[in-house]
Amino acid sequence: GQNIDQPTEMTATEGAIVQINCTYQTSGFNGLFWYQQHAGEAPTFLSYNVLDGLEEKGRFSSFLSRSKGYSYLLLKELQMKDSASYLCAVRDRSNYQLIWGAGTKLIIKP
């Protein structure tokens, strides 16, 4: 079957670092996406991984291990505006559709 797991909620402190994990099981794999969604707004694209390793983009980094079916999103120097839900999605090779996790709500405290 196809399944994506992420923690429901995480709390972190402003200025700190947080790692949001995502594990997946899919029949085929053709890339993993991370999106950010602020409350009441549309999801916006953060990162894409298709090969193993770390992709860094400013304060945000995303890691992928295809053999382990595992990814994480790393947020550094947390700011209050990073309070949002973070959605993990895997693209299925067979039909190129995205399979979405339920999202992780990240709460940043001063």
Partner 1 sequence: DVKVTQSSRYLVKRTGEKVFLECVQDMDHENMFWYRQDPGLGLRLIYFSYDVKMKEKGDIPEGYSVSREKKERFSLILESASTNQTSMYLCASSRDRGHSASYEQYFGPGTRLTVT
Name the 3-class secondary structure at 33: strand
Q: Give yes or no for residue 43 binding partner 1 (CB under 8 A).
A: yes
x-marked contacts with partner 1 along 79-98 as a string, rule CB under 8 A:
--------x-x------xxx
Q: Measured from the CB atom, is 8 or 67 closer to partner 1?
A: 8
CA distance 94 to 62: 24
Q: Could you tell me if 55 and 61 are in contact, meaning their C-beta atoms sit under 8 angstroms apart?
A: yes
Rg, C-alpha atoms of the chain: 13
Q: Give yes or no for residue 103 binding partner 1 (CB under 8 A).
A: yes
The residue within the footprint of partner 1, chosen from 1, 42, 67, 80 (CB under 8 A), is 42
Q: Give yes or no for residue 52 binding partner 1 (CB under 8 A).
A: no
CA distance 69 to 29: 9
Q: Give yes or no for residue 20 binding partner 1 (CB under 8 A).
A: no
Q: How many residues touch partner 1 (CB under 8 A)?
A: 23
Q: Give yes or no for residue 60 binding partner 1 (CB under 8 A).
A: no
What lies within 8 Å, CB to CB, of 63 at 6+ separation is: 49, 53, 54, 55, 71, 72, 74
Binding interface with partner 1 (CB under 8 A):
4, 8, 30-31, 33, 40-45, 48, 50, 87, 89, 96-103
